[in-house]
Amino acid sequence: MPNPYHLILIETSGNQRHIFETNKLAENVGASEQIFRLGTDEVLKVAREVGGLTDLMSLEDVNDLAKNPPLENSDKNCEAWYVSSGKAMLFVREFSLAREIVQAITLKAHLDYPGVVVRGAIVRVECDDDPKRAVLQLAEAVKKVHDKLEAKRSQLAPNECRFQRLPIVAECQMSGLPAGGIVKVPGETIVSTIVAAKRGGFHKSTQHKWREGINKRLNEIFAGDESVLLARNVDELDDLLEDARYLAIIHADGNGIGQIFQNFDRLCDAKDLRDFIVKLRAFSYGIDQCTKAAFKEAVHVLCKTDGKFAKAMSGQQKHHIPLLPLILGGDDCTVLTTAEFGIPLVREFLRQFESQCENYRSTDSQLTEEYQQIVAKIAEQQFGVRRLGMAAGVAIVKPHYPFYAAYEMAEGLIRSVKSGIKKNLKVKVGSEDVPLPVTAYDFHVHHASSGDSIKTIRDSMALEITRKTANKIGSEERNQSTRTRFWGGPYVLTANLEQEERLQNQAAALDWTNPRMDARLWEKVNALQSVDATSEAGNNGGQDVRTLPNSQMHELRTALLKGKKPADHLLELIGHRYQSSHIQILKEENSLFRNDPPEDDPVTRISYEVMSTSLYDAMSLAHLKIQDGKVETT
């Protein structure tokens, strides 16, 4: 391959902030569409018009050797490596062409996609005559271009500087930004250029065309599949969500994917530079396909149940699912739905993601048979198992709770999941200690109409019930205290972890994992919602009688918040009145609380003995009327 080449990385940032800036569904969907189109349609258009790839018309064409030929084997000046929603990588011959491509994309964003933050970085790639050394040089360039783009984020002015308040102008009635014109939503409303762009512009003709494109993409995941009915348009989705008591913002993100890309040259064992490019593209595309297929299969599985969001109820009546996938690609998934549907969806999605990664086969003819299952192969090289992990956070909030604050809550829950896995589930692969890839989720039901970060909320849900003076730890004296937590997550879905012999400190790892298994949580939820078979519904106004009545559940919740002793004492008092088997399920072992690994606070210099309970989480799910992960039939 001639020397040198230039690698371009174009990426949007602050996507979720842009999407969830308001609680208007039309704007949420419009912002999602902007990010998708800018990272795909606009990049392909620039690749055609500036880069000379005149046949590159769709995302599928990126993997077509005739339409997107290898740079070294053609007279083209540009090759598209990877194109997806919000991110693209291209390979070009000349620096001047690379700069022209980045300029064209960023200018397009500035003019037609106000509010979307997109930046580009260019790195020169030195290609040595030695194939193995050329691979190392290209891998280093991939790392460098990501670092360079990250550095630019702190060097360039923030997006807010584009929307100055001087001279004094009218204020957008939806976002508070400077107004740019009037739209009908309905009625004449003064809005900013950002809000207008999310709705398709200031003119009715462009708005209509924009909405048609959005509605098409909303349904393309299940196009031609009558077993799944999503909302056909934004207005229908708005109607479906209108009567919801609670909404769920779901955010899921892959575990350890960034680490794989950092080590990809070592993991893929590329024999030359082209082999590296083919495998990197195939792996990136494979992750994207696994995420989309997992989402599709998860919805299919849930629609097979007789829940109220399933397709057919009786006769010809059909119900559409209140589900809005806002970001779905790469290893990211962000979804808005109702609380009742959110928890079952995230559980099934994580299960399906594991399965898809294990079984995915690439259709790229350039890959050898050994690398046809490239996702599982690369995962095995990095983690020692043929699967990838994913963490998910579910923020369950009231309909008028700010969507962006809910997304930040979900993101905070993901950090909690990843932190727990990284700390407690390590395996040794070669000379490296790496987190074991597992799928797990955490959730929080927020009953207030406003609130703080998930860290602040959970700090307020931790009770210090004892404190005693100073034991010597090493050469320092620290206070000791017991911290009681009223949540039990994260909850792990990956099965058979007890068979993973490579786990470091296996006993402690399983002590952390076993009480957090998803199945243990749902045993408690089912016990709380179980019906007393000896009672007659007619004696209770036609309603089934729960084994543990709501009044006792309320008293038990109150006792939980007082700590271990009051809660255990109340359970013993009421235990003899109800089915003992269901009461025993509510316990962790011999108590409603379990002992978790101790923690040291470096700021307060306090050593904490930690106790936690998953019963409070189970009660929250029982309140939402979800049983065994399936939406209650009505």
Kindly report the CATH number assigned to the domain that includes residue 129.
3.30.70
Does residue 570 form part of some domain?
yes
Q: 447 and 468 in one domain?
A: no
Q: 412 and 545 in one domain?
A: no
pLDDT attached to residue 186: 63
Which residue reads 């693209």 in tokens?
Answer: 88
Q: How confident is the model at residue 233 (pLDDT cuts 50, 70, 90)?
A: low
The whole model's pTM is what? 0.88
pLDDT attached to residue 538: 42
CA distances (Å), origin 296, targets 191, 375, 445: 36, 19, 26
When pLDDT is averaged across residues 291-316 and rounded to a whole number, the result is 67
Neighbours of 303 (CB within 10 A): 18
pLDDT attached to residue 503: 86
Q: How far apart are CA 590 and CA 584, in angstroms?
A: 8
Q: 401 and 284 in one domain?
A: yes
Tokens of 201: 């512009």
Residue 610 backbone phi and psi in degrees, to 5: -110, 130
Which region among 18-27, 120-129, 132-141, 327-336 has the lowest average model confidence (pLDDT)? 18-27
- Where is mean pLDDT largest: 299-303, 390-394, 403-407? 390-394
| Start-to-end C-alpha separation, the chain | 65
Q: 171 and 154 in one domain?
A: no
69, 75, 77, 82: CA torsion to nearest 10: 0
Q: For residue 390, give the CATH number of its domain.
A: 3.30.70.270
DSSP-assigned beta bridge partners for residue 10: 88, 120
Instruction: For residue 249, give the nearest of 347, 333, 352 by alpha carbon.
Output: 333
Q: 180 and 129 in one domain?
A: no
When pLDDT is averaged across residues 263-290 and rounded to a whole number, the result is 91
The per-residue pLDDT of the chain, averaged, comes to 82
Does residue 228 form part of some domain?
no
Q: What total number of domains does the chain contain? A: 4
Which region among 84-98, 317-331, 619-633 has the lowest average model confidence (pLDDT)? 619-633
Range of the domain at 395: 234-460
Q: How confident is the model at residue 624 (pLDDT cuts 50, 70, 90)?
A: confident
Q: 328 and 206 in one domain?
A: no
Are residues 18 and 117 in contact, defined by beta-carbon separation less than 8 angstroms?
yes
pLDDT attached to residue 480: 63
526, 532, 537, 539: CA torsion to nearest 10: -140
CA distances (Å), origin 416, targets 20, 391, 463, 621: 22, 9, 19, 20
Residue 587 backbone phi and psi in degrees, to 5: -80, 155
Cα–chain center distance at 487: 21
Does residue 104 form part of some domain?
yes
Q: How confident is the model at residue 312 (pLDDT cuts 50, 70, 90)?
A: very low
Q: 321 and 271 in one domain?
A: yes
pLDDT digits (tens, 9 = 90+) for 81-139: 889 888 899 999 999 999 999 999 999 998 888 889 999 999 999 888 888 898 999 99
Does residue 97 form part of some domain?
yes
Are residues 52 and 64 in contact, defined by beta-carbon separation less than 8 angstroms?
no
Helix (H) or strand (E) holding 484, with range, is strand 476-485
Q: How confident is the model at residue 290 (pLDDT cuts 50, 70, 90)?
A: very high
pLDDT digits (tens, 9 = 90+) for 490-539: 999 998 888 888 888 888 899 999 999 999 999 999 888 877 655 544 44
pLDDT attached to residue 208: 66
Which region among 70-84, 234-248, 425-439 has the lowest average model confidence (pLDDT)? 234-248
Bridging pattern class, strands 432-435 and 426-429: antiparallel
> Which residues lie below 8 Å from residue 114, measured CB to CB, with a gap of 6+?
162, 192, 193, 194, 197
Q: How confident is the model at residue 61 (pLDDT cuts 50, 70, 90)?
A: confident
Last residue of a domain, one of 410, 442, 460: 460
Q: How confident is the model at residue 212 (pLDDT cuts 50, 70, 90)?
A: confident
Which region among 181-190, 235-244, 297-306, 540-549 has the lowest average model confidence (pLDDT)? 540-549
Which region among 295-299, 492-496, 536-540, 581-585 has the lowest average model confidence (pLDDT)? 536-540
